Amino acid sequence: MCVAFWSLEHPAYALILCSNRDEYLSRPTANAHFHTFEPIGRAEDLDGKVLSGRDLLAGGTWAGLNRSGRVAILTNITEPPRKYASSRGELASSFLLPKTPTAPLRDEVDKLVAENGRFAGFNLLLLAPRLEHPEGWRKLHFDSAFVTNTGGGGRITARGLTDAEMRCGGLSNGIDCAGASDWPKVKKGTQALQDVLETAAEGISDAELSERLFQLLTDFTESWTSDPAPADRAALRNTIQVDPILVQVTQSPDHKQYYGTRLSTVLLVRRDGSVCFVERDVWMLDTNGDVVKADAKSQRIFQFQIDLNSISSAERTH
């Protein structure tokens, strides 16, 4: 389970986004860094175009942005596991490192829609930068698209965000237009973000806003503390942060793994293109394989300026 909340309509920020990544704690993962999706095992380009963490098994990413301002957020749809020819992480990576960097968002979405039947269930939020020029200065906005196959092997479709989702949106592991927006964690998180936005004045600092968003991501439900652990991931739709759960792997009864919230991330993009990206560890395994809560100071902070000159005229007018 993963979850993300965002706003695209704050006066000072083109994008306010916070997210949790829930995964097996033992799954090999690289922390957020700049790269160009080099093959795993090859020396990485630390001055690369993409900022994200990486899944070291499949090679893709679940969330990231590039130096030109493109943003992708990917979540899996809760469903029984099956094998597919392609990794969902490719959906995000192909958008963040496109073969045609200046291609309009519509063209990128059309390309994804043409790839029907290749992937396990996914939800994908894509954001592409656009510039407006009010009163002689450049002001950053984002065009958006929500792409999904509504379940493994399903037909890929795309739609724009609603006005309500532009103001304050949420995304998790449900099926679009089939109850996903009614998941308790999504409703709770979007309301909490709305509360943050109502008190986040234009002069708020990135550091203060980030702390409010990280606090939002710590919300959890204690409903299973005195009961058996949830039987499957669908039972976790009530909680934004997932404390580690011991999972017995069906294919190997003697092998057990812990599943929970590994990372929390905040991404802030101001209207002038300045970026603040903060990634914090939440739960991890120590050298003995035991579950430990991450040090509160265990984080990666990146600040840089989007290359506004790289935003093509096609994207500006799209």
Determine the pLDDT at residue 82: 87
More confident residue, 176 or 42: 176
Q: Does pTM surpass 0.75?
A: yes
- Cβ atoms within 10 Å of 287's Cβ, excluding its own: 6
Residue whose structure tokens are 């958008």:
95
Report residue 296: phi and psi, to 5°. -60, -25
The pLDDT confidence band at residue 254, using thresholds 50, 70 and 90, is low
Better pLDDT: 74 or 83:
74
pLDDT higher than 90, residue 255:
no
Report pLDDT for 136: 61
Q: Which residues contact 119 (CB under 8 A, 6 or more apart)?
A: 84, 86, 87, 88, 91, 149, 152, 153, 156
Query: How confident is the model over 59-79, as a mean pLDDT?
Result: 94
pLDDT at 134: 67
Cα-Cα-Cα-Cα dihedral sign, residues 89, 235, 116, 130: negative
| Phi, psi torsion values for 297, nearest 5 degrees | -90, 0
Can you spell out the DSSP letters for 151-211? Answer: STTPPPEEEPPPHHHHHSEEE-SS-TTTTGGG-HHHHHHHHHHHHHHHH--TT--HHHHHH
- Residues paired with 159 in a beta bridge: 146
Residue 78: strand, helix, or coil: coil
For residue 224, pLDDT over 60 is answered with: no
| Higher per-residue confidence, 84 vs 145 | 145
Q: What is the CATH number of domain 2-317?
A: 3.60.60.10
Say how far apart CA 174 and CA 82 lie, in whole Å. 17
Does 30 have pLDDT greater than 90? yes
pLDDT, mean of residues 172-197? 94
- On average, the pLDDT of the chain sits at 88
**Residue whose entry in the numeric block shows the structure tokens 């706003």:** 7
Q: How many CB atoms lie within 10 A of CB 200?
A: 20
Is the pLDDT at 314 greater than 60? The verdict is no
**pLDDT over 60 (residue 227):** no
Residue 267's nearest CA partner among 30, 60, 62, 106 is: 62
* Distance (Å, whole) CA 38 – CA 287: 27
Q: How confident is the model at residue 269 (pLDDT cuts 50, 70, 90)?
A: very high
